[in-house]
Amino acid sequence: MLTHPVETTVPRLSLDDCRRPGSPFYDQVRAAAHGNGLEPRALTVRTLLHLPRVAGYRGSLSRRQIETELHHSGKGLHRDQTEIQSLIPFKEFALQDLRFVEYDAGKAAAVLSRLHYLRSARPGSRNFALVDPIDGLPVSLCSVSPLEWVRVGRQLHSQFQVPRERAWDISRVYSFDVAPKNAISYLLAKVRNVFRIEMRDVDLLTTAVDPNLGFTGTSYRSANWQHWMSIQARPYLYVDRRYASPRQLRERFGTANLVELKARPGVLIEQSRAKLLDSMIFCCRVRGETESVPLDDLRVLRR
């Protein structure tokens, strides 16, 4: 039985407060996760994804709103973890003991479609993982896909002379809480080496980092990736109180047009109201050094 999180004495928090490590929100997450056998990191991200749905225009949240969203996110995460229990690692290993492999697509999809905050796997991806040396369970994994973001591709071509068809995207990353320090940056370095050797038609790797979910890009910086541009934030969308990406809306309903969706009977469509932070696009050249971009040259692209 999933228990409710421990109440905090802080009456209200902002979205900025909740994104900040060490805030009372993180204390609530740890209490809820440890009391219910949940991955704290996954619970944090999943809850941060849903807090903007109930936050006011200024990003303010009541204690009760946070507790409610944390409880709903915990129930969903508990259900998702149970469905793929056999793929979840519980043993801790040193980084040098983990094996780097190209990971099975079906198993990667099972993990990503249930535990990644987007709850989906990108078709046509190559999947890589650091797996434990005994059971072969994925400790950290990622999917790499041809870059589909047209606006980013245009900017890469015009500013950095990299054609979009020669760029691939780290479209999904997930790391279990047993992963050792620097596991993601180590995984990224291994993936870059595979592309350097095997993918002669690929010159660049990209990824999007969403700071609204508490991500800062530290693992990418540690792997010598550079922040090359940003993307203007747009409101998060929710179907029946659960987050849905525009891609998921199109797959489910055939459209991501809010006017059309809101006119459909029996479908509750909502969008966040508070101002969200822009996403950061990090890049890494497959061969040679990845140059840094001066602050004055960092472009903020429209959606």
pLDDT at site 2:
62
The pTM for the full model equals: 0.92
240: left (phi over 0), alpha (psi -120 to 50) or beta: left
pLDDT at 4: 57
- pLDDT of amino acid 105: 96
Residues whose CB is less than 8 angstroms from the CB of residue 263 and which lie 6 or more positions away in sequence, other chains included: none
* Portion of the chain with pLDDT greater than 70, in percent: 97
C-alpha to C-alpha distance for 229 and 297, rounded to whole angstroms: 8
Looking at every residue in the chain, the average pLDDT score rounds to 93
Residue 138 tokens read as 């994925």
Percent of the chain at pLDDT exceeding 90: 84
Supply the pLDDT for residue 165: 97
Model confidence at 172, in pLDDT bands (50, 70, 90)? very high
Weakest-pLDDT range from 99-113, 135-149, 206-220, 259-273: 259-273
Residue 126 tokens, joined: 């190559």
Q: Give the pLDDT band (50/70/90) at residue 35.
A: confident
| Contact assessment for residue 172 and residue 118, using Cβ atoms and an 8 Å cutoff | yes
Q: Give pLDDT tens digits for 59-86.
A: 999 989 999 999 999 999 999 999 999 9
The Cα–Cα gap between 142 and 128 comes to 6
Q: Tell me, what DSSP letter sits at residue 96?
A: G
What is the model's pLDDT at position 21? Answer: 87
CA distance 20 to 13: 11
The 10s digit of each residue's pLDDT in 79-118 is 999 999 999 999 999 999 999 999 999 999 999 999 999 9
Mean pLDDT of 145-168: 97
* Residue 143 reports pLDDT greater than 70: yes
pLDDT at 3: 60
Tokens of 155: 């900017």
pLDDT at position 117, please? 92
pLDDT computed for residue 5 by the predictor? 52
Q: What is the pLDDT of residues 273-295, one digit of tens each?
A: 999 999 999 999 999 999 999 99
